[in-house]
Chain A
Amino acid sequence: MGIPMGSDEWALALKDEVNKSEGYRMASLTWEDDFYFIVTKGGPITEDLLVYVDLWHGECRDAFRVSDPGVKSPTFEISAPLDIWKKVSNRELNPIRGIMTRKLKVKGNILKLIKAPKSAIELVECAIRLDTEWP
């Protein structure tokens, strides 16, 4: 049985996976920013689903589900509907291409993200390795 996508359990599993990943660590040695990853309301998602992820110098310091968006002020917010996140997870949509084509909406310095493609791809690979149960 999989881990429900976007749950606290899922966030913790992502944190563990990131911290085990040598690929992520090497690609992100200088990264110092945190994120909200947001699945926007629509279809089976009845309200925006937020996961907070704090990434620092190649490791994940914290990750959890967020019910109140005001609880953190991350440097980046990346949001998209469920079907787009599924495409990223299935490797049908490269995350950087998703950002450039605005399928993944970014609040924050978009150029900083698209200049760090390896880091983004490794992070996505970590998420792909999770046994995710999609809504």
Chain B
Amino acid sequence: MKTRYKGYTGKLLDVNLTSQTTGEYIVSDMDRERFLGGRYLSTKILWDELKPGIDPLSPENIFIVMTAPLTGTRAPSTSRYDISAKSPITGGIGHSNSGGNFGIHLKKAGWDGIVIRGSADTPVYIEINDDVVQIKNADHLWGKDTHTSQELMKTNDFKKAATMVIGPAGENLVKFACVVCQERVHGRTGMGSVMGSKNLKGLVVKGSKKIDVFQPEKFKEHTKKWIKSLQGHPATGETVPKLGTSMFVALLQRANALPTKNFSRGTFENYNQITGETLAKDHLIRNYGCQSCPIQCGRVVKLDGQEIKGPEYEIMCLFGANLLINDLDAIIRWNRELDLLGLDGVSCGTVLGFAMELNEKGIWKNNLEFGKKENILDILKLIAHREGIGNDLAEGVKYLSEKYGGTDFAPHVKGLELPAYQPQAAVGHALGYATANRGACHLDGGYMIYFEATGPVTLEQFHHRSKPAWVVLDQNLLAAISSGGSCLFTSWTFVPAIAFKAQKSKIISFIIRKILTYTWPSITGLLKLPLVFLKFHIPLLPHSKAIALATGMDMSFGKLIRIGDRGYTMEKLFNLREGIRKKDDKLAKRFTDDLLVKGNKNSRVQLDKMLPQYYKIRGWDENGVPKEKTLKKLDLNFVDISQLN
């Protein structure tokens, strides 16, 4: 056994597509303790293995699939796993997390992860049946959509296996190509095109082994309580199962935070035709979820007599309000097409909105118009196949703005397109966009929107001074939860159920808002507390105890947050080594200069005020470079920071 910890298999598969050979990649227990699993462990591997400056679409890039210690252990909502590589859209760290059954099967096959190097001469797929690994010809799959390819891979012994594939978008190196696992999607950062560049169509895995945990009885008891708390919580037990993420359309409209017309404003007059409530009333058949998940956030909807996967909030907004389209039927159709083609819906919707504004302003004549839906389906195909204007659209917002113009209203950070939350409406969330290591990301950014607009109790939306501390805490917290293998929805119980009762009283909500906003120094204090004061588990976040019981690791709430901080900083170091600097922690002028609310001078994102404070709280210098003492605190002092300056 190559690890003393349970929850892990102790083995990573190493596949070289150039030489068509397989072996094992060795990870130390020290790295498991430092990074747990998922994308942060992958980042450490990429740091160790990649030379800086390599082309992300060259054989030199490494593509990693990585589970985490709780993946597949029957703790609630722990089907999660990550894929990582150097991103072709940002040039920095790229990763994408997903549910579905691939991670579980991979672990059951005896592998914690897969490190994939080089590139094959001809299209291939990787087939894993416990210890038997084969690289197989994929000529018959190349060119096929993600649904068909997954079905074709499940032959003979693999009928009940898990699959992960790219569609035509990944094959054609579309910068925002995604990877699809069943109907779940690894959307962001162009991981699909990394697979495409390796001529890797997909992977299929079947596992028959048991996943052991350290203290089975206590773990079982703990997860039972955890499931109960999720089921009893107003968000994870009621709203999310009932409406899915599409519930955010109405919530964000009310908060003036629903990106509309290429993020030019935060409200859409026809929003009620594309809400979660409308979806539930007119189309919903049932919800569904990943294995071991009591939340069941997925939607199955009916369209043209067929049952298909329903759209998430991001698609409903970015193909709805953001394009001035209020046709839910059309959005459902496009959602399906995005998955079949293997396109990231978030980036794609944002790209289209930007292209529409370029057309409207006469900057780039492309026949894309706000409110015009007739050509959208064709455009998606053009993008996936890089035909006509699709060849330019496939490169993303940053490329389009550099080629044609419009940088002032180009919604991207570091090259990654913005997700569906209006930055000026939640300035902490906007700071998260600017500082997230993989580019504009609501989740990596700390998901502050929950504390600024959509949660039961919130901070003041436009208050800037309070936000950096909260953003750092949230970024570390979500990073920590993700690194253990849990779905980020499980973090919502951090806000106790009683808060949902409090929101019914205007006075109580007002008082809580003031307390949360103006006690930000206590958050800074919490972040600075030595670990010795945080050696406990907290009931609102069962994750640390679950990891301890599953693995046998010495784990606490404080240690888990520290792992989040460490992982986040490790990603930052990777980016610095690739030349991504303070100048890249920015947003378009539309968000930093334009007022969202007329007359409210705080309703723009004042990054110049927040960034210095953010860097200071993180223990970074004024250029956003981690200081030596921060690296020492985080046990990252194997990095020579002078080399990165």
Interface residues of A, Cβ cutoff 8 Å to B:
96, 100-102, 105, 109-111, 114-115, 117
Contacts and interface: CB of A to CB of B under 8 A. Distances in A.
28 contacts: A96-B386, A100-B171, A100-B172, A100-B385, A100-B386, A101-B142, A101-B143, A101-B171, A102-B122, A102-B123, A102-B142, A102-B171, A102-B199, A105-B121, A105-B122, A109-B55, A109-B57, A109-B58, A110-B57, A110-B173, A110-B197, A111-B57, A111-B173, A114-B172, A114-B391, A115-B391, A115-B395, A117-B391
Nearest to A97: B385
Interface in B264-293: none
Contacts of A115: 391, 395
B123 to A, nearest CB: 6
B590 to A, nearest CB: 28
Contacts of A114: 172-173, 386, 391
Q: Please report whether the interface of chain A is mostly helix, strand, loop or mixed according to DSSP.
A: helix
Interface string B122-133: 110000000000
A115 B396 CA distance: 13
Contacts of B142: 101-102
A114 B58 CA distance: 14
A27 B121 CA distance: 29
Contacts of A110: 57, 173, 197
Interface in B41-58: 55, 57-58
- The interface centre, meaning the residue of A109, A110, A111, A117 with most chain B CB atoms within 10 A of its CB, is A111
Interface string B109-136: 0000000000001110000000000000
Nearest to B199: A102
Nearest to B121: A105
Nearest to A99: B172
Contacts of B57: 109-111
A109 B119 CA distance: 12
A101 B122 CA distance: 10
Nearest to B392: A115
- The interface centre, meaning the residue of B57, B122, B171, B172 with most chain A CB atoms within 10 A of its CB, is B172
Contacts of A109: 55, 57-58
Given A100-B385, A100-B386, A110-B57, 11 more contacts: A101-B142, A101-B143, A102-B123, A102-B199, A105-B122, A109-B58, A110-B173, A110-B197, A111-B173, A114-B172, A115-B391
A105 B120 CA distance: 10
Nearest to B58: A109
A76 to B, nearest CB: 13
A105 B121 CA distance: 7
A105 B139 CA distance: 13
A94 to B, nearest CB: 10
A102 B142 CA distance: 9
Contacts of B58: 109
- The interface centre, meaning the residue of A96, A100, A101 with most chain B CB atoms within 10 A of its CB, is A100
A121 B197 CA distance: 22
A101 B199 CA distance: 10
B145 to A, nearest CB: 14
A110 B198 CA distance: 11
Contacts of B171: 100-102
Please give me the 7 A-B residue pairs with the lowest Cβ-Cβ distance, nearest first.
A100-B172, A111-B173, A111-B57, A102-B123, A114-B386, A101-B143, A102-B142
Contacts of B143: 101
Contacts of A105: 121-122
A111 B395 CA distance: 10
A29 to B, nearest CB: 16
A114 B143 CA distance: 16
Contacts of A111: 57, 173, 197
Nearest to B120: A102
A121 to B, nearest CB: 13
A25 to B, nearest CB: 21
A32 to B, nearest CB: 17
Nearest to A105: B121
A105 B199 CA distance: 10
A117 B390 CA distance: 12
Contacts of B391: 114-115, 117
Contacts of A100: 171-172, 385-386
Interface in B189-245: 197, 199
Nearest to A102: B123
A110 B199 CA distance: 11
